[in-house]
Amino acid sequence: MKITVRSAVEVDLSVLLALYSELNPDDPQLPETSADAIWAAISRQQGRTILVAETGGTVAGTADCIVMPNLTRGGRAILFVENVVVASSFQRRGVGRQLMEAAVRLGESAGCYKVQLLAADDAYVHTFYEACGFKALAEGFRRYIP
């Protein structure tokens, strides 16, 4: 199976929303006008790249990447990765690995010193990221805002 990773474009929005519904099935459906406005804001955001993995003309997965400028580490930026999801029908076929390799290459090309992400508390997910070369080196904290 040939997998191609590229930057998402506006016509990918509906498939991105479908993938995100697999990631967070309890989320309410985003109204089309809201999704369009959010996509426009993302598209204008410097350092933001939503990657999509395609196979056979079908978008099979995505990863949202943002380069954050940084005043430490000699001014080298950090690449954060969020909203990584592979469609259930394409899991365990190399799509996620290709997305993560593309994210790392994106970080390298932006001069980042690290690629960082938070992972769900799920042994399968942790094993996947470790297989992609990531190490669990810190404990993450978050505070949800109602």
Separation CA 8–CA 106 (nearest Å): 14
The domain spans of the chain are 4-131
Q: Give which of 8, 61, 58, 67 is closest to 38, Cα–Cα.
A: 8
User: Residues near 140 by Cβ (< 8 Å), separated by ≥ 6?
Assistant: 118
**Digit-coded pLDDT (tens) for 97-144:** 999 999 999 999 999 999 999 998 889 999 999 999 999 998 888 899
Nearest to 77 by CA among 101, 55, 49, 52: 49
**CB within 8 Å of 105: residues ≥ 6 apart:** none
**In the prediction, which pLDDT does 120 show?**
86
Q: How would CATH label the architecture of 4-131?
A: 3-Layer(aba) Sandwich (3.40)
Give the span between the Cα atoms of 102 and 63, in whole angstroms.
9
Each residue's pLDDT tens digit, 25-53: 999 999 999 999 999 999 999 999 999 99
Task: Identify whether the C-beta of residue 63 lies closer than 8 Å to the C-beta of residue 107.
Answer: no
> For the range 142-145, what are the long-range contacts, defined as Cβ-Cβ under 8 Å and sequence gap of 24 or more?
142/118
The pLDDT of residue 62 is 98
Amino acid at 129: Y
pTM: 0.94
With CA atoms as reference, report the closest residue to 5 among 88, 48, 62: 62
Backbone φ and ψ for 130, nearest 5 degrees, come out as -60, -40
